[in-house]
Structure 1
Amino acid sequence: MPAHHQSAGGGLRQRSGIARRGPGVAATPPIGSACPRGDATHARPCPRLSRDGTPSPSVSFPHHELFAIGIGGPIPLAFPQGLVSPEHVFDGLPAGIYEALRTFEHNRFIGLKAHLDRAQRSMQQFGMSTPLETQGLRSALHTIATGFAGKDAKIRIDFLTSAATALGTDCRVIALASELRLPGAETYARGVCSELVDQLRRNRPQIKESSWVVDRRPAGGGTPTNYESVLVSPDGMLLEGVMSNFFAVKGEKVITAPESGVLPGITRGIVLELARKLGLPCGEQPIQRGDISSLQEAFFSTSVRSIVPVVKLDGTTLGSGVPGPVTLQLMEAYGDYCRSEARPAEPEA
C-alpha cells in the first residue's frame, strides 16, 4: 500500500481548538473540529438542493458510506444522483488535498499519525493555512471505522479549501468509507504487468491533490496487460505508479526514485525501513527507462494494497517472470509489520 505522510496548515494546535491569531483577527476553527459556521446546528447535513430549491434525489451505493466531519464527529451524507461511482462524489467539490488508507481488524490503522502529518504539510504547501484538529479527526475516523458494516474499509478523506456545499454541508472535511477490495491472492502470487506513461505529469508530486485522482484516469490500468501505469519524467526516469510508489531491485539493491520527484509515501518509508532491518542494500536512486532490462525485480507499494509485485514492465519480463525473493521477503516483513503495528485511531480504554 503506498504510503502517504505529510502535513499542512500552521502546526498542530489541539488544546484550544482554535488557530492562533493576531489582535483583531477572527479565529479560524481548525479543520476537523467544526464546520465553518462553528456551531452544531450548522454541522448537520442539509438535503442537496436543485436549482428550484427543492431537494435533489440521491443515489445509494451499497458498501459505501459518505460523511462530513464536523463539530460533533462524522455526519452521514447522501450521495447525489448521477454518479458513475462513489469516488466521483469528490469530482465536483472545491479544490483540496486528500489521504487514503485502509483499516486492519475492522478499526485499526497503520501509520495514521504519518498520514495526518502529511495532510497538514500538504495543506500548507497548497496554501491552506488552517491547522488540523488531529484529535477530532482521530475520533471521527475511529467512529467511522468502528461503525462500518463491512469487515475492513478503505477510507478516503478530503480536506477542502472551502465548504462542500454541493453535498449540502458547510464542512470542509469529507470522508468516504468503502468496502476494502484488495487484489486476489493470485495477483500477489503471480505478480502484475505494468506499462509506462510519458504524457502524464504531477505538477506537485509532494502533495496529494484531490485533482490528481481525476487527472490520472486517462492512464487507465486495472487490465491484465497494465495493472497500473508508471509515470516517466521528461528525461526518462521512472518515477512512481499513478496510485503507488514504485520500487525495483537492481544488482541486489532495493531502489526507488528520489523523494524530490515523487510522493513521499507512508508505505514507501516503511518498506525502506524494513529493507534496512533485513540487511538488504536499499536507497533512493534514479531508475531510467534504459535500466528496465537490467532490473531483477520490481513492485508497487501502497497504503491500501500493500506490496504488489511487478513481473513485466513496458513489455519486458523481469527476472524469471515471477515475484522475486527480495520482493517476497519484503511482502512477508510488511505483513508482519501490519499485524504487529496496527492501532486504533483512538487509544483503547
Structure 2
Amino acid sequence: MATSTVGGRLAKLAGFAAAAMMLAVLGGISFTGRWPTDATLEHLTGDGIIALPAEQVAHVDIVASGKTVRLDHTGGGWAIGGAMLDPGIAKHIDTAIRFLNVSSPRRSLQPGEYDAAKIAEFRLDPPKLLVSLVARDGKTSSIAFGEPTPAENSQFVHLLGQPTIALLSRYVGVEWQMALDLAERVPAAAVNGKERPKLLFLPMSFATIWAVEIVQNGALTRFERDPAGDWFHHLPGHVHTPGGFVHKADPSVAPLLAAEFTALERASVEAVVAKHPDEATLAADGLEHPSAIMMMYARDSLGAVARVEFGNPTPDGFGRYARVRETDNLVSVPRYVAAHLDRLLEIAGVRS
C-alpha cells in the first residue's frame, strides 16, 4: 500500500512538473512567437548500414506504390525535376541519408533465420519502400524497407546485395517516407513543366504525422493517433508509465478529426505574398505574434517537423495571412483553412 501511495505521489509530482514546464513553454511562445527546437536526433553517432555521406550522393531514387521519385543533389541543395526544394524541406533528405550513415541495426537475421515466406511476411519483396543512393562515381546502394516489427520500434530492412535482413530503428524509414511525401507535394509544373501549378499550403500530408499541437489564445491542445492510427484529443493532466494506459480513439470522434486534417492537407495557397519575409512584413500581417500556431510531429520525432502560423485576415476579408516555417513564405490562404483549426478545437470540446 505504501509503495502504491508513494508511486501515486511521484506520478502527481511528475505531472505537476510537466504542466509547469508546458506553461513556461507556452509563455515563451506567447512572448516570442517561436517554438523551441529539439535536436535530440541530431547527435546520433554509430556505424550505419550505408557509409555514403550526403555530399557524395548524386541523386536518390525512391520507389513506392509503383511510383518512382528522383531527387537530384546539386551544388545548391536538392531538386526535383529541375526545381530547387526549399532548404527546410531539403534538410529531410540530408537527415534521412545521415540516419542511414549512423543508425546501427538493432539485430541482423542470418540466411538460416528466415526463408522466402518470411521475406514476404516482412514485406521486403516487393518492399514497401525502396531507396537507392547513387554516388557521384556511379555506384548504387539500395535499401528496401518493409513492415515494422511487432513491438513497432524497429523495421525490417534489406540492403540489396547483402545476405542479412536487419532490424533498423523505425525513425529511419519514417524520415524516408517523409522525404517522399514532401517531394510528391512539389507543384506539378515544377516537375514536368506542363500542368498548371497548384501550390499546396502544407509541405507534407498527414500520412507520416502522428501528433498535432494547436496553440491559440494561450492554450495548447494536442491531438495524437492511437496504435491503430486513429486520431484522438490527448487530454492533459495524466502521466504515462511503462505498461500503463494505452489510448484508444473514440470511433465516433476519430473520423471527424481525420476529416479536418484531410481538408487541411488538401488546402492550396491563393497567393505568395513574400518569399523570406522580413520582421516588418511579418508584423504588418499579424505574424510577428501569430494568433494561431499548429505544430506537426512525426511518429518518432520530439521536435515539430512543420510549424504553421496564422496571422491577420486579408483586406478583402476572404483570406488569411499565413506562414509555414519550412518554406519561409508569407502566403494568403482561403479563410476556411484557418476555420479547420477552429473546428478541431470545437470537436475537442475546448472551444464552443
TM-score (norm 1): 0.29
TM-score (norm 2): 0.29
Greater Cα radius of gyration, structure 1 or 2? 2
Task: Name the structure with the higher helix share.
Answer: 2
Task: Name the structure with the higher strand share.
Answer: 2
User: Which structure carries more relative contact order (alpha carbon 8 Å, separation 6+)?
Assistant: 1
